[in-house]
Chains A and B, each alone.
Chain A
Amino acid sequence: EVQLLESGGDLAQPGGSLRLSCAASGFTFSSYAMNWVRQAPGKGLEWVSGISESGGRTHYADSVKGRFTISRDNSKNTLYLQMNSLRAEDTAVYYCAKSPSGSYPNWSDYWGQGTLVTVSS
C-alpha cells in the first residue's frame, strides 16, 4: 500500500524558514517523480514544485521560485521541501504527492494527508 506521510509543518515568522519532509513507503520511491501541492485555508489547490525520480530535474511555481528548494533522498525514501523567506501568503496545507512514473510533468496518483504551515508574527 502506498503511503506518504508529511511532517515539519509549524508556525513560522515572516522571513523565517521551515523544512517539510515526506516519508514514502509501499512503492519503489526512486522510480517515481514527486510533487508538492499546497492549499491555502478555504482556497483551491496550487502546484508548488516537482522533482524527477533521480532528483536531477526540479520545477517550481513562480510564486516560490528562489525561495523554496525541493530535494529527495532516495536512500531514505524521503522527499523534502526547504522553505526560506517565508511570507504570510505561504500559509497553507502542504501535500506531498506521487507521480505515476519517473517522467515529469505528470499527474499525481497518490497524496499524503498534508502538513499545515502557518506564517505569522
Chain B
Amino acid sequence: DIQMTQSPSSLSASIGDRVTISCRASQSISRYLNWYQQKPGKAPKLLIYAASSLQSGVPSRFSGSGSGTDFTLTISSLQPEDFATYYCQQSYNTPCSFGQGTKLEIK
C-alpha cells in the first residue's frame, strides 16, 4: 500500500500570507495526487486533481505542483475562509490513501 505523509501537521498563518503544504508518497504516483479542503462539521471539498488541475469554482489563489513522490499545495494569499484542514490523496492505485491532514489556523 502507498503511504501519504503531509507536512506540517498544523500551521499558523495570517490573512494575506502565502502558505505551502507538502505531501510525500511512499512510492512514485506520477501525477495521481489530489487535494481536498475540509471545514469543521462539513464534507471535504475537492480543490486540485491530477497534481495541478484546479477544480471548477475553486479560487485561483489555490495551486498544486509536483510529480513522482513530492507534491505541494500553495495558497498564494490567505483569505479568512481558507482556514480549514487540508488533505492530500493518491489515486494511483487502491487503496486510495489520504495524508493525515494539515490544519491551517489563524495566527
Interface residues of A (CB under 8 A from B): 35, 37, 44-47, 50, 59-62, 95, 100, 104-114
How many interface contacts (CB-CB < 8 Å) are there between A and B?
A: 61
| CA gap between A44 and B44 in the complex, in Å | 11
Residue with the greatest number of chain B CB neighbours at <10 A, chosen from A37, A60, A112: A37
| CA gap between A35 and B98 in the complex, in Å | 14
Given A107-B91, A109-B55: 11 more A-B contacts, CB < 8 Å: A45-B36, A45-B89, A45-B101, A47-B98, A50-B96, A59-B95, A61-B95, A62-B1, A106-B91, A107-B34, A108-B46
Closest Cβ neighbor of A96 among chain B residues: B43
- In the complex the two chains form, is A45's CB within 8 Å of B98's CB? yes
> Could you say which residues of chain B place their CB within 8 Å of the CB of A113?
42-43
Tell me the count of chain B residues lying within 8 A, CB to CB, of chain A. 26
> Could you say which residues of chain A place their CB within 8 Å of the CB of B46?
107-110
The answer to the question of B83 belonging to the interface, with a C-beta cut-off of 8 Å to chain A, is: no
- In the complex the two chains form, is B91's CB within 8 Å of A45's CB? no
Interface set, chain B 73-107, CB cutoff 8 A to A: 87, 89, 91-101
- In the complex the two chains form, is B100's CB within 8 Å of A50's CB? no
Q: Which A-B residue pairs are the 4 nearest by beta carbons?
A: A111-B43, A107-B34, A59-B94, A47-B96
- In the complex the two chains form, is A100's CB within 8 Å of B49's CB? yes
The answer to the question of B45 belonging to the interface, with a C-beta cut-off of 8 Å to chain A, is: yes
Q: B87 is contacted by which of A35, A44, A104 (Cβ under 8 Å)?
A: A44
| CA gap between A114 and B38 in the complex, in Å | 13
> Could you say which residues of chain A place their CB within 8 Å of the CB of B55?
109
8 pairs of residues in contact across A and B, judged by CB atoms under 8 Å: A35-B96, A47-B96, A105-B91, A105-B93, A107-B89, A108-B44, A109-B46, A111-B45
Closest Cβ neighbor of A58 among chain B residues: B94
> Could you say which residues of chain A place their CB within 8 Å of the CB of B1?
62
Q: A62 is contacted by which of B91, B95, B96 (Cβ under 8 Å)?
A: B95
Residue with the greatest number of chain B CB neighbours at <10 A, chosen from A35, A46, A47: A47
